[in-house]
Structure 1
Amino acid sequence: MNLLRFLNREIIISLLVASFPILCLAYGKGYNLPPILLLVAALGFCWQFKKVNYTTQVKWVLSSFSIYFLTYLASTLYYGGSLSEIDMPSRFVLVLPIFLLLLLYPPKVNILTSGFIIGSIIAGVVAMIHIYDFKTGRAFSDLYKSIHPSLKGYMPIQSGNMAMTLGVISLTISLYYLDQKSWWKFTLSLIAALLGIYASFLSGSRGGWIFLPIAIIYLAFSNRQFISKKIAIFSIVVLGTAVFSLSQNMEIKTRLNEATQEIVQYQKGHDQTSSLGARFELWKSAIYTTEQHPIIGAGYQGREVLREKWAHEGLVNAQVIKNFLDSHSHNQFLEDLSVRGVIGLAALLAIFIIPLSIFVKNHNIANSPQQKMLNQCGAISVIMMIGYCLSQAMFRHNSGMIFYSLMTVILLATSISMREKRS
């Protein structure tokens, strides 16, 4: 009876975990409900957290996530900022009880991978509805929410990046099923991967495409032991067909052409207020601010004052600063560096490097294809987020905070639990 109760508890928690990728892009702000339910469940079991095996890896995760939040808190207190500034980063602390819960009751890998596959398929279907039915021009855009209420809550950059992660994770899962020669699961997960990646391209979020080649190279290298010449040729044909199909899509062609023209015009000094031009100016502003406050940053209010100063001195475009005075730097690394200094940047790097190193280490000592696949999913998730943060301050949005923090602890808890079980 106790065993049955334990299994039911584990399955229920696994289903809650799997609901996160499924609901992420099913509707606007679909990423909000699963973490709330998981946090409530975690608080209900907090009395059991003393049973967790607090290994070195667990302690590193708890420390890095906590310290990242504390850099926000310290900066806010030091500069006298509003407590609302620590609202979103608090997600990195709120996911820690969920992390401990999942160490006690690790998600069933088959249920978790099914969640990623379904979520990626949903992302692709939703994106195509937005483009080909709603005629929004960009998938996941809420500009037409008055006409189509279902668009409310979406953001093209954030949602497009989430779709890309779901797609690449599904691609990772497809390689596992290919290795296992489970052909229908391989086909389904490959279709899911293509739909998720396609959804990102339909969103027009160009920053989400930067690290896709790196992710594919990583997967090819990590799975080189079973990638034969036939598989390699098949993969090249599929990827080549996909790239050609994407290149013929009018929305995607337009976004790529716009990017090229904006870079050329910016280099000539003709247009500094375009989408990319404004980003370059904000990056320059962040660098100038860091030179003034390299250790602890300038804080949000101080950063605004300095932005106006740089504009007045002609160092950055005044119109860009006027339009983006209280906005982020469109680069998470420069954002943390300018607002919280080298200390903030170090804390940011820690929440990337520590999880990534855990996934790589656990992958290298894994003794089953399923363990290797799970750790590859975790590594891919971190790698892709690093890429997104180069052109977007992902963690200045609730969606980015929740998506990365929860996705990471889900995969970390599963990875660490599988490693402990093996030991």
Structure 2
Amino acid sequence: MSLPRFLNREIIISLLVASFPVLCLAYGKGYNLAPILLLLTSFFFIPQYKKISLTPDVKLVITIFCLYFSFYALSVFSHHDKISYLDQPSRIVLVLPIFLMLLRYPPNIKWLLSAILVGSLIAGLSAIYQVYGLHLDRAYSGFRTLYLNGYMPIQSGNMAMTLGVMSLAVSTYWLKEKHYWATILSLLSAILGILGSFLSGSRGGWVFLPLALIYLVYSNRSYLKTKGQIALIAFLLVVGAITIQTPQVKERIDDAFNNVTHYEQGHDITSLGIRFELWKSAIYTFKKHPIFGAGYHERQQLRERWGKEGLVNKTISHYTLHSHNQYLEDLSLRGIVGLTSLILLLTIPFGIFNRNNRITSNKSNAINQCGAVSIILMSGYLLSQAMFRHNSGTMFFATLTVILLACSITLKREEKS
């Protein structure tokens, strides 16, 4: 007996996939619900996985995701660290059933692209409400209320930036399709999403924004032509100039310069000063354990030792914080082996998106450009934040990446057939 149309599995899966970008910043812990529902749904389709064509790209994605977790687990066991440290990296492999399900039952691409726009709109409007309605100093500050609990200015601000820049990629899709009202809506979504990041004051989220924008312009150079590229760049410059004058943004930029000045004068206890000291500690730890790292327990002992020896600030040496840089975090905890697995986790998906972007299909271009800019931006976020030491960062990266990878690989297969 066939199911009613509203219970059609493709529709259910498409709705769940589309709900992810929509819910991410709709409330404090919105990034959790869709991945959990997608994972539970994927268990019902395990018998169907044998029908999936395991192309080289599919095998590569599964391998690198498993490799990252395996190296992490090996490090935890070999250094006799707590098993609980495996909680966050386990999300990296738990999204693989979702990946396989989406390869077997691809979601509706237009629904996903539209959901990215809605998610970016929500991110921006939520940030505006929190700053100007609730009078918070920074958007996504996370008051202990049902709505705000779970927001983090850094993590949430970075999510908003990703949704905003992906909306720019979606705008090129609608422009190519000659749907000009949809193009305008996409640009509005992009502005609001990026504004949400600026209102969060998360400076680390702004570092690779120029690179992501350059990638989009370059990827669409044959369509935009010279006038189109100039118009897009001019539009972005105007929006950027207006945004930088926002009090919250200007204040955060001024704070950064003041922090650097104070640090040079020997004042370490500032937002950037603490980061610099944690980075120094991570580098010293890596030099002592370059191949496999020190693990969590010894890393903390060494951090305190560096404080006693005057290599880092003594007060900061007692902090049990992560290194506020995912690359240095992995380097100090798991050495070159850990850093290599992290870099592969970023570069392999980017390579697939970038290669598949050559397919002459507007949908394929939009999906692959969304995937590519999300990886570029995440690479920047990791410079000043250990995103994968937080549930929000890991869930956002892992879920978004496998959704876009599954769509990219499916569109490539369809193009060939």
TM-score band by shorter chain is over 0.9
Aligned match of 2:170? 173
* TM-superposed deviation, 1:176: 1.6
In structure 1, which of residues 339, 342, 351 is the aligned counterpart of residue 333 of structure 2? Answer: 339
Aligned match of 2:383? 390
SS across alignment from 2:28: coil
Change (3 A) 1:342 1:48: same
Superposition map of 1:19-418 within 5 A: 19-142=19-142, 144-145=143-144, 149-266=146-263, 268-322=264-318, 324=319, 326-364=320-358, 366-418=359-411
1:150 aligned partner, one-letter code: Y
Change (3 A) 1:5 1:135: closer
SS across alignment from 1:226: helix
Which consecutive unaligned segments of at least 5 residues does structure 1 have?
Answer: none
- TM-score (structure 1 length as normaliser): 0.96
* TM-superposed deviation, 1:126: 0.4
Give the length in aligned residue pairs: 416
Deviating beyond 4 angstroms after TM superposition, the runs of 4 or more aligned structure 1 residues are 1-7
Q: In 1, distance between residues paired with 2:95 and 2:276? A: 33
SS across alignment from 2:322: coil
* TM-superposed deviation, 1:7: 9.3
* TM-superposed deviation, 1:8: 2.4
1:117 aligned partner, one-letter code: L
Q: In 2, distance between residues paired with 1:421 and 1:137? A: 48
* TM-superposed deviation, 1:3: 10
Q: In 2, distance between residues paired with 1:228 and 1:367? A: 16
SS across alignment from 1:34: helix
SS across alignment from 1:379: helix
SS across alignment from 2:31: coil
- Spell out, residue by residue over 1:265-288, the C-alpha distance to the aligned partner (whole angstroms, 9 max, x if none): 22x233211111111111110000
* TM-superposed deviation, 1:14: 0.9
- Spell out, residue by residue over 1:135-184, the C-alpha distance to the aligned partner (whole angstroms, 9 max, x if none): 11100002x43xx5522110000000000000000011111212222101
1:79 aligned partner, one-letter code: H
- Spell out, residue by residue over 1:342-361, the C-alpha distance to the aligned partner (whole angstroms, 9 max, x if none): 11111101110110111111
Q: In 2, distance between residues paired with 1:217 and 1:4? A: 46
* TM-superposed deviation, 1:321: 1.9
SS across alignment from 2:291: coil
Q: In 2, distance between residues paired with 1:231 and 1:54? A: 40
- Spell out, residue by residue over 1:51-107, the C-alpha distance to the aligned partner (whole angstroms, 9 max, x if none): 110111101100100111111211111111111100111001110000000000111
After alignment, is 220-229 or 281-290 more displaced? 220-229
Q: In 1, distance between residues paired with 2:204 and 2:10? A: 37
- Spell out, residue by residue over 1:112-143, the C-alpha distance to the aligned partner (whole angstroms, 9 max, x if none): 0011000000000000011001111100002x
Q: In 2, distance between residues paired with 1:240 and 1:359? A: 27
Q: Could you tell me the percent identity over the aligned residues?
A: 53
- Spell out, residue by residue over 1:231-255, the C-alpha distance to the aligned partner (whole angstroms, 9 max, x if none): 2343233223212221221111100
1:37 aligned partner, one-letter code: L
Q: In 2, distance between residues paired with 1:240 and 1:297? A: 43
Q: In 2, distance between residues paired with 1:25 and 1:309? A: 40
Q: In 2, distance between residues paired with 1:396 and 1:379? A: 22
Q: In 2, distance between residues paired with 1:269 and 1:54? A: 57
- TM-score (structure 2 length as normaliser): 0.97
